[in-house]
Structure 1
Amino acid sequence: MVRLLHAIFLMFLLISCGNEQEKTYPVKTGITESVYSSVTIQPDSLYQAYAPVSGLLDENLVEEGDLVAKGEVIAQIINTSPKLATENARAALDLAKKNYRGSSGILSSIEEELKAARLKYKDDSINYYRQEKLWAQGIGSKATFESRKLAYELSSNSLELLQKKYSRTEDELQTQLEQAENTYRLALVNTRDFSVTSKINGKVYALHKNPGELITSSQPLASIGKEEDFVIEMLVDEVDIVRVKVGQPVLLTLDAYGDHVFEAEVSKIYPEKDERNQTFLVEALFTEAPEVLYPGLSGEANILTAKKDSTLVIPRAYLVGKNKVKTKDGEVQVTVGLESLDSVEILEGITAETLIYKPKE
């Protein structure tokens, strides 16, 4: 009987202890408020190098991992699209040269006409002046004289017209030649080899195209960035971005370095929101960077937005809703201040002597 009563007492004690609600007192301590963010490491000044024209990648003059100087050629492009236009321009230029300078050209044909016209003019003028002298002496008929005079005038007019035609044609052919030369020079510019150069002193982190591939001016050829300087890229939710400011400290971990915590500082906040994931891009710089970093290393970060060394704090789990706690007298409304991952600052509503109870889940 005694043993039975003892067993019942122990069972009642265990049930009572198991049903007892967790409780605690607020404490005076420090609290730090932070904004969480994912992290990606990228080289400083990282950019994509593009071809100035569409064409054929003739050669990559660097390899991934190479160091390059500003202005150094990294790739050679052959612009093949206007090749036919260049050939047509060359043919047009050759034709213009033949027309202007060639022995069988248009001017040569007019020159032959001019020679014949000059001979006829000379012959008609001799006949006319001879007949005019005879007519003055009363020799010959008037009809013969007038016929010689008409032939002379027609020859003179024909010669004058041919001389004007020659001058006009020469000017037109010279203009056509100059235009053909300009068109051909422009076509050569469009088909010459194009060089892609580095905009910075840095390192080649990626080559995106292989020699022989057709490329367009909208496709990147290479990724180039600083060799030793890296930036920390953080994606901050739009709900938290208003609390982030340049100069705030950052504590971060990288998957490649396990639990090691690195320190950094916010250096730049990009004002445009990424509509795809509702975040803002924030950059930070290492206070002391790891010895080895690679583009694309990932991790997590907390941006420290506010801090108090001594204030009234309760565990976050004891907060009912957004601004209430449970006491022996029931729920009491409180004014909340800073919030961390596991703690909440209490500004008004309770004191350090107020016993609070953890709400049931």
Structure 2
Amino acid sequence: MDQAQRAAPQDEAKQNGDPENRQRQNDASGEGQNNDEKKPSLIRRHPFWAAGIVLALIAFGIGGYFIWLIYFHPYETTDDAFVDARSFSLAAKVSGYLDDVAAADNAHVEAGAVIARIAPRDYQIAVDQAQAQVESARAAITNAAAQIDVASAAIEEAKARETSSAAALQFAKDEADRQRQLQQGGAGSLQTSQQAESNLRQAQAAYAEAQANISSAMKNKVAAEAQRTSAQASLKQAEAQKESADQNLLYTTLTAAQPGRVVKISGAKGQFVQAGQAIAMFVPDEIWVTANFKETQLADMRAGQPAELTIDAYPDHVLNGKVDSVQPGSGTAFSLLPAENATGNYVKVTQRVPVKIVVDQWPKDVSIGPGMSVVPTVTVRPRH
């Protein structure tokens, strides 16, 4: 028990430590605190590195500003752009069976090239009939002109007979007066006087007949002239029908009105097509780029500004062009169903405005058509 009592104070002394050990520990901790307080900061320990980092940040900021000023600030770009063209459908103007489809799918054709033909036989028959009507009307005009000449000659003949009968009438009057006077004087006979009166009546009848012949000949001439007028009107009608038949015959051949490409051919040989039925689509050579810029990008955009374009399908082809015009209104304003913003929960949305960009030279070694995506970059401000 004495040993246990002696061991307990020793253990307590070990735990609390003797005064000398505690003094040494306090001295050591005080020296560590003094060392920490005397240690300099990182910037003081590495002033050149700190200054270099600050200068690098300043240079990076200045360089970033100049990069923005040179490579971003002068330009406006958009990925909402595409190749555009005034494409239209090739439709038959007359009905019939397709005799031939000369153009191939996606083929380029020149102006006047044959695209398709409709069997022309029925329309050639119509042309022949119209030509016959024209010739008939011309013959009627010729016949009427001949009748007018005959009537004119008959009028002249009737006038000559009138002149002759007028002279004979005058002689008959004189003879009748003379024989009447001789009979009254007793120098002439009654028979001679009666014969002279008979000759007078015959001369009067002949004169009246000559006048009637003149009137009849003049009426015949008027009738012939009316026939000629009618024949001339018939000729004009026949010529109009002939021209219409000729046009219909020409319409059986569908040709290209301008250079371009024939796409989406739906007609085939032997197919019956109605007038107005489309058999293909036509894309003219004249194409451009329609770029839908945000309205906030248009402040400095003007016609004539240079543009650089890349086509998504052919990124290795960089194209040059210029702004042609800016549409006076947003794209939705001219759509079939324009947006109606008169609502109670209106949310302002930045609108897109179409800008037409023409390309200086389209590449010839690739196929470019409407709808292909383009990324245009327009220089709207001077480069510094």
Q: Give the TM interval when normalised to the shorter protein.
A: 0.5 to 0.7
Q: Secondary structure at the match of 2:373?
A: strand
* Structure 2 residues without counterparts, runs of 5 or longer: 1-56, 180-191, 336-351
* Map 1:21-100 → 2, pairs under 5 A: 27-28=61-62, 29=64, 30-31=67-68, 32-33=72-73, 34-41=76-83, 48=88, 54-56=93-95, 60-75=101-116, 94=136, 97=139
**Code of the aligned partner of 1:285:** V
The equivalent of 1:250 in structure 2 is: 308
What is the distance in 1 between the residues matched to 2:296 and 2:275? 41
What is the distance in 2 between the residues matched to 1:309 and 1:92? 74
Q: Secondary structure at the match of 1:55?
A: coil
Q: Secondary structure at the match of 2:194?
A: coil
Give deviations 1:59-84, integer Å, cap 9, x for gaps.
65423333323333435578x99x99
- How far apart are residue 157 of structure 1 and its match? 0.9
The equivalent of 2:284 in structure 1 is: 225
Give deviations 1:211-247, integer Å, cap 9, x for gaps.
6423349x79641433xx9644323344433433444
Assess, with a 3 A threshold, how the Cα gap between structure 1 residues 150 and 189 changes in structure 2: closer, same or farther.
same
| Of 134, 138, 143, the match for 1:101 | 143
Q: Secondary structure at the match of 2:201?
A: helix
What is the distance in 2 between the residues matched to 1:162 and 1:149? 20
2:252 matches 1:178: no
Comparing both structures, which one devotes a greater share of its residues to strand?
A: 1
- How far apart are residue 159 of structure 1 and its match? 0.8
What is the distance in 1 between the residues matched to 2:377 and 2:141? 77
The equivalent of 2:297 in structure 1 is: 240
What is the distance in 2 between the residues matched to 1:280 and 1:237? 9
Comparing both structures, which one devotes a greater share of its residues to helix?
A: 2
Give deviations 1:276-332, integer Å, cap 9, x for gaps.
35632422538885953342453352524468999xxxxxxxxxxxxxxxxxxxxxx
The equivalent of 1:280 in structure 2 is: 354
What is the distance in 2 between the residues matched to 1:300 and 1:92? 59
Deviates more, 1:87-96 or 1:179-188: 87-96
The equivalent of 1:213 in structure 2 is: 273
Q: Secondary structure at the match of 1:194?
A: helix
The equivalent of 1:293 in structure 2 is: 367
Give deviations 1:143-175, integer Å, cap 9, x for gaps.
634532331122111111122122222233223
Assess, with a 3 A threshold, how the Cα gap between structure 1 residues 222 and 189 changes in structure 2: closer, same or farther.
farther
What is the distance in 2 between the residues matched to 1:269 and 1:150? 95
Larger Rg: 2
**Code of the aligned partner of 1:169:** A
**Code of the aligned partner of 1:56:** S
What is the distance in 1 between the residues matched to 2:307 and 2:140? 77
The equivalent of 1:350 in structure 2 is: none
Q: Secondary structure at the match of 1:235?
A: strand
- How far apart are residue 38 of structure 1 and its match? 1.8
Report percent identity of matched pairs: 8
What is the distance in 2 between the residues matched to 1:220 and 1:283? 31
- How far apart are residue 35 of structure 1 and its match? 3.0
Assess, with a 3 A threshold, how the Cα gap between structure 1 residues 306 and 158 changes in structure 2: closer, same or farther.
closer
